[in-house]
């Protein structure tokens, strides 16, 4: 029987009420279906458009070598997580991430040491571990000179990570074995 059809003994008012509820039911059904399809469509769209994660670039320039004098330069620690170190032979870049559990150590110029505030690891200027629980020496990042503008280019994700030797002074790596390209610039 169609919604508007009259049953035997039914008044016109009853017919119109039945018609109304039938139409309401159809409306809810279609509405639900449209909403469900909309949800599926939105999910599919989200899947097709990858969410973008904005991370700092891992290759960046830090100025020319003459910007860095002998010693530890801390000015890029916050922005780039590095210390730039110059010794009598050249420049290297230490990554300022503790090798214990990843905290950020601090540089103490008066002691010539990096000290980690989390569990007390201590590193010397070469990145050797001279105290605390760190199991490895600080990473050194790969560096090169841009041939066009002469700036130092740091490749933060390419890192030197030699096996240290346990000694009476701590976990050490022979320095000359670290002062090699691309982790050291003779400038």
We find the least distance from the C-beta atom of residue 109 to ligand FES, in angstroms, to be 19
Size of the site for ligand FES (CB under 6 A): 13
Task: With CA atoms as reference, report the closest residue to 132 among 116, 120, 118.
Answer: 120
We find the least distance from the C-beta atom of residue 166 to ligand FES, in angstroms, to be 17
Distance (Å, whole) CA 89 – CA 56: 30
Single residue of 133, 136, 144, 158 touching ligand FES by CB under 6 A: 133
Residue 23, both tokens = 């139409």
Binding map of ligand FES across residues 84-113, x = CB under 6 A, - = no contact: --------------x-xxxx----------
Binding part of the chain for ligand FES, among 37-45, 69-77, 106-114, 118-126 by CB under 6 A, reads 118-126
Binding map of ligand FES across residues 134-153, x = CB under 6 A, - = no contact: x-------------------
Contact (Cβ atoms closer than 8 angstroms) between residue 121 and residue 129: yes
Distance (Å, whole) CA 34 – CA 36: 5
Instruction: Pick the closer one to ligand FES by CB: 142 or 171.
Output: 171
The strand pairing partners of 124, in sequence order, are 113
Single residue of 80, 91, 114, 121 touching ligand FES by CB under 6 A: 121
Contact (Cβ atoms closer than 8 angstroms) between residue 114 and residue 95: no
Residue 116 neighbours by CB under 8 Å, 6+ apart: 98, 100, 103, 104, 105, 106, 122, 123, 132, 134
Binding site for ligand FES (CB under 6 A): 98, 100-103, 116, 118-121, 132-134
């Amino acid at each position: 029987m169609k919604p508007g059809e009259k049953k035997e003994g039914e008044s016109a008012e009853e017919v119109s009420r039945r018609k109304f509820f039938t139409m309401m039911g159809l409306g809810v059904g279609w509405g639900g279906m449209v909403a469900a399809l909309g949800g599926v469509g939105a999910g599919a769209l989200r899947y097709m458009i990858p969410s973008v994660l904005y991370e700092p670039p891992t290759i960046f320039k830090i100025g020319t070598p003459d910007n860095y004098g002998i010693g530890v330069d801390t000015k890029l620690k916050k922005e780039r997580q590095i210390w730039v170190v110059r010794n009598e032979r050249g420049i290297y870049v230490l990554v300022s991430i503790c090798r214990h559990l990843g905290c950020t150590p601090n540089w103490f110029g008066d002691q010539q040491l990096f000290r980690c505030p989390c569990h007390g690891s201590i590193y010397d200027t070469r990145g050797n571990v001279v105290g605390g629980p760190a199991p490895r020496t600080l990473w050194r990042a790969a560096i090169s000179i841009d041939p066009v503008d002469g700036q130092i280019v740091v490749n933060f994700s390419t890192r030197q990570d030699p096996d240290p030797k346990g000694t009476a002074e701590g976990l050490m790596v022979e320095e000359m074995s670290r002062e090699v390209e691309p982790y050291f610039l003779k400038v």
